[in-house]
Amino acid sequence: MTNFDVIIIGTGAGNIIADAAIANGKSVAIIEKGAFGGTCLNRGCIPTKVMVTAANRVREIRESARIGVNAEEPSIDWDILSKRLWHKIGENKGIKEYYAQFPNVHIYEGTASFASSKVIHISMNDGGSEMIRGEKIFIGVGARTNIPKIEGLQETGYITSESFFGEKFPKKPYKSLIIIGGGPIGCEFAHALDAAGTKVTIIQHNVRLLPKEDEDISAFLLKQFLSYGIDVKLNKNTISVHKEGNEKVLIIKDRATGIEEAVKAEEILVSPGIVPVSDLLHLENTSVKTDKRGYILTNEFLETTQEGIWAIGDINGQAPFRHKANNEAEIASHNLFYEKDPQKWRWMRYDCIPAVTYTYPEAAHVGLTEADARKKGFDVDVAVNHYSASAKGYALGFEPGDEDDGFIKLILDKKTEKILGAYIIGPEASILIQPFVKSMVDGTSTVTLVHEEIGSETVRSLRALPLKRTLDSRSLQSFDETMTPHPSLSEFTMWTRYYYKPERLLKK
């Protein structure tokens, strides 16, 4: 059995940990059962943004007459879009080649499961199996689409974001598409494919789109989707699916009235949310605990309930965003491979994670919604400003009273005027949210406990201090420790830190 200093399961954000371990001379095993790069590169953030960016241009051109620019009806060249999309996904091969060049790295392509807390069994993709042992093990295996139990769904067939960016990628846009799920994934697909000419119907179980957004944001996006001709059916149960000729028919029931109706389309995209892939890990052979949904429980230092095992990314259930996973990986790398003094350790803050849904308009936020702030007992005040109130907003064509005049909504503690949350819907919301994210990180903060019952001896001693950290708003370090919503254009500026004397990263 081969022994490694570090074992990394999953090649999404886990690559950040791999880089740190390699730079510090550790022997590293990397295990990947699919394409290198994780969900983000292969079937998530990046390929969807290639699509929605093209869709954005279509909508901008359609709206340009109001600022005096006339153009013919735009359309998406699906062949060009597809080539660009698959070119980007193809970068996964380079990730594998990069790690293969290091003599202290061994790559295993297969499915990992725990034989014990230190021993990993790998079912190799090409047959056979391997057993390896690791001192430090990092789990970053992610999640997959949650497939609901709907009568006839399996027999009729469907697509998910995984299969769409895989064996079922269409040679041309669908004529019509039913999307089950009105969360970020469903809404982004609806925007992209509607702009490509597909007749889109969204079936949402909740009473609103994007239910994790502030209610005003959800209502605004619904209004915009309806104006594009996207059919949105809220508060519906999905009952059954069958085929009629070349179409798939979904029977839905209104949760308030009980009235049933049939919706027909060429294809059905299932996107009601995600579930962790922890079922493949055989965690019963360790002391790693999960919640009732199967997400691995971790603390603010990414420790699990098993000493020597950490978990990052979607698998720990905190927030399904690549920038959050990257931040967790950077924290784990800093603490375990670069910083010898635990009193200089970093910890994960889940109160300042930005989130963006790349629809048109974009919806971005950080912090509490108005409803959540009130539930927490804050004396809440709200500040709202519309795009049309600014000179640039007017230049973009927005005027007071316009149906598509987006806005920013700040959630404030009335007593202190402290910003509890910021919510934006409109052009480039993904960029405009960044100052609020950074303001939440800057200054002095005290370690915030996550799952207090989880903690190594070192972590418990740091909590008892309690551990504090101060970030100067003008320091490069404050940019290092501020999340940037991925993949927004803010990364262009925020990630300059990676290109400033890269050798300094080896000395962190």
pLDDT in tens, 205-234: 999 999 999 999 999 999 999 999 999 999
> Residue 101: its pLDDT value, please?
96
For position 91, what pLDDT does the model report? 94
Stretch 335-364: mean pLDDT: 97
Mean pLDDT of 255-261: 98
Residue 104 has pLDDT above 70, yes or no: yes
How far are the Cα atoms of 225, 253, 300, 416 from residue 359, in angstroms, in the given order?
A: 9, 27, 31, 34
- Does 76 fall in a domain? no
Per-residue confidence (pLDDT) for residue 163, from 0 to 100: 97
Q: What mean pLDDT do residues 491-503 have?
A: 78
What rounded mean pLDDT belongs to the chain?
A: 96
Residue 112 belongs to what H/E stretch? strand 105-114
One domain for residues 231 and 361: no
What is the pLDDT, as a whole number, of residue 508? Answer: 45
User: How much is the average pLDDT of 40-54?
Assistant: 95
Q: What is the CATH number of the domain that holds 414?
A: 3.30.390.30
Integer angstrom CA distances of residue 180 from 32, 190, 239, 262, 394: 29, 10, 12, 14, 36
Neighbours of 379 (CB within 10 A): 11
Q: Express each pLDDT in 77-94 by its tens digit.
A: 999 999 999 999 999 999
Cβ–Cβ < 8 Å for 354, 439: no
Report the pLDDT value the prediction gives residue 497, as an integer from 0 to 100: 77
Task: Examine the domain organization and report whether 491 and 381 are in the same domain.
Answer: yes
- Please give the Cα distance from 404 to 395 (Å, whole number): 14
Shared domain for 362 and 255, answered yes or no, is no
Task: Please report where in the chains the tokens 């957004």 appear, as a residue.
Answer: 213
Q: How many CB atoms neighbour CB 101 within 10 A?
A: 7
Asked if residue 381 and residue 503 are part of one domain, the reply reads yes
User: Can you tell me the distance from the alpha carbon of 122 to that of 130, in angstroms, rounded to the nearest whole number?
Assistant: 5
Q: Where among 208, 237, 272 does a domain terminate? A: 272
Residue ranges of E strands in 125-259: 129-139, 143-145, 176-180, 199-203, 231-233, 236-244, 247-254
Task: With CA atoms as reference, report the closest residue to 212 among 411, 368, 397.
Answer: 368
Give 433-461 as a DSSP string.
THHHHHHHHSEEEEPPPSSTT---HHHHH
Shared domain for 374 and 496, answered yes or no, is yes
Q: In the chain, what's the furthest Cα-to-Cα distance?
A: 70
- With a pLDDT cut of 70, the percent of the chain lying above it is 98
Instruction: Find all residues with CB under 8 Å of 285, minimum gap 6, and list them.
Output: 113, 114, 115, 116, 117
Structure tokens that stand for 133 in this block: 């042992």
pLDDT (tens digit per residue) in 262-315: 999 999 999 999 999 999 999 999 999 999 999 999 999 999 999 999 999 999
The number of domains in the chain is 2
Q: Specify the CATH number for the domain of residue 181.
A: 3.50.50.60
Q: What is the pLDDT of residue 480?
A: 87
CB atoms within 10 A of CB 73: 7
- 3 state SS of 107: strand
Query: Does residue 230 sit within a domain?
Result: yes
Strand partners, 248: 243, 265
**One-letter amino acid for residue 303 of the chain:** E
Q: What is the rounded distance in angstroms from the CA atom of residue 366 to the CA atom of residue 405?
A: 21
Whether residue 322 lies inside any domain: the answer is no
Same domain, residue pair 265 and 365: no
Question: Which single residue is written with the structure tokens 């101060």?
Answer: 470
Range of the domain at 187: 153-272
**Regarding beta strands 274-276 and 247-254, do their DSSP bridges make them parallel or antiparallel, or are they unpaired?**
unpaired
Last residue of a domain, which of 210, 242, 272?
Answer: 272
Any domain includes 453 = no
From CA 408, how far away is CA 217, in angstroms rounded?
9
Q: Is residue 416 part of a domain?
A: yes
More confident: 495 or 397: 397
pLDDT band of 502, cuts 50, 70, 90: low
pLDDT of 9-21, one tens digit each? 999 999 999 999 9
In a domain, 488, yes or no: yes
Asked which of 272, 306, 329 is the last residue of a domain, the reply is 272
Long-range contacts of 443-448 (CB under 8 A, 24+ apart): 443/470, 443/471, 443/473, 444/468, 444/469, 444/470, 444/471, 445/349, 445/469, 445/470, 445/471, 447/300, 447/347, 448/300, 448/347, 448/349, 448/350, 448/351
Give me the mean pLDDT over the 426-443 stretch: 96
Q: What is the pLDDT of residue 498?
A: 76
Percent of the chain with pLDDT over 90: 96
Residue type, 385: N
pLDDT band at 401 (very low <50, low <70, confident <90, very high): very high
| Residue 503 pLDDT > 60 | no
Q: Is residue 114 part of a domain?
A: no
Contact of 423 with 354, CB cutoff 8 Å: no
- Sequence length of the chain is 508
**pTM of the complete model:** 0.95
Same domain, 495 and 397: yes
Q: Residue 315: CB partners within 8 Å, gap ≥ 6?
A: 10, 139, 140, 141, 142, 143, 276, 277, 278, 295, 296
Q: Measured between alpha carbons, how far apart are the two ends of the chain, in Å?
A: 33
**CB within 8 Å of 378: residues ≥ 6 apart:** 368, 413, 414, 420
**pLDDT single digits (tens) 62-82:** 999 999 999 999 999 999 999
CA–CA gap between residue 329 and residue 15 (Å, rounded)? 8
**Within-domain flag for 2:** no
DSSP 73: P
Q: Residue 501's pLDDT band (boundaries 50, 70, 90)?
A: low
